[in-house]
Amino acid sequence: MEYLKIEILLQKCSIEELGPEEYKLIESAKRATEGSYAPYSMFNVGAAVMLEDDTIVEGSNQENVAYPSGMCAERTAIFYANSQYPKKKVLAIAIAAKDKNGFTKGPVTPCGSCRQVLLETENRFSHDIIFYLYGEDCIYKIEGTKNLLPLSFGNEFLK
C-alpha cells in the first residue's frame, strides 16, 4: 500500500492585487447577494459568472421550506448563463456571501454539488473556469475545478 498526496494550488490575494475586470466581477457577486432568498439559513450568497464576451450573469441562493428544493447561488447563475448563452464560454465565477454580520471575513467556498456542476461547464466548453472566492479579509483565486474538486468524476469516464 502507498499513500498518494494530491496538491491543489490557489492564490490568496487582496482586492488591490486584482485587475479592474476581476474587481467588477467580485462587485457583481456582492451585489447579487441582494437577490438572495434565504429566510431559513439567513446566509445570503451571490454569484457572478463572466462569459467570453464579458457578459456578466448574476445569481443568488433561493431557499425553500422543503430544504432540498432550494438552490445555491452558483448553480442559479451558471444554469441561467448556460441556458441564455449556450454557445458562450464561461471564463470565471465570483462568489460572495453575507450573514447577519455582513460579508464573511474569510472566502466563501462552493458546495460539492456546485463544484460538480462547474466541472461540467468546464468540460462542456473545454475551458478552465477561474474562481474568485470573496472574503472581507482576503480573496482566493483558483484556476480550474481541478484545484477545487480533486479526484472528480468527469466525462473522461464515459468515453
Q: Which residues in this chain contact ligand THU in the complex, by CB under 6 A?
A: 38, 41, 43, 45, 61, 63, 70, 72-74, 110-111, 114
The answer to whether the beta carbons of residues 33 and 43 sit under 8 Å apart is no
Cell of 88: 458562450
C-alpha 36: how far from chain center: 15
Q: Rounded to the nearest whole angstrom, what is the least distance from the CB of residue 124 to ligand THU in the complex?
A: 20
Burial bucket for residue 97 (CB in 10 Å: 0-12, 13-18, 19+)? buried
Q: Is 74 a residue of the active site?
A: yes
- In the bound state with ligand THU, the residue whose beta carbon lies nearer, of 52 and 111, is 111
- In the bound state with ligand THU, the residue whose beta carbon lies nearer, of 26 and 45, is 45
Q: Rounded to the nearest whole angstrom, what is the least distance from the CB of residue 158 to ligand THU in the complex?
A: 26
The answer to whether the beta carbons of residues 100 and 42 sit under 8 Å apart is yes
Please identify which of the residues 22, 63, 74, 122 carries the catalytic annotation: 74
Positions annotated as catalytic residues are 74
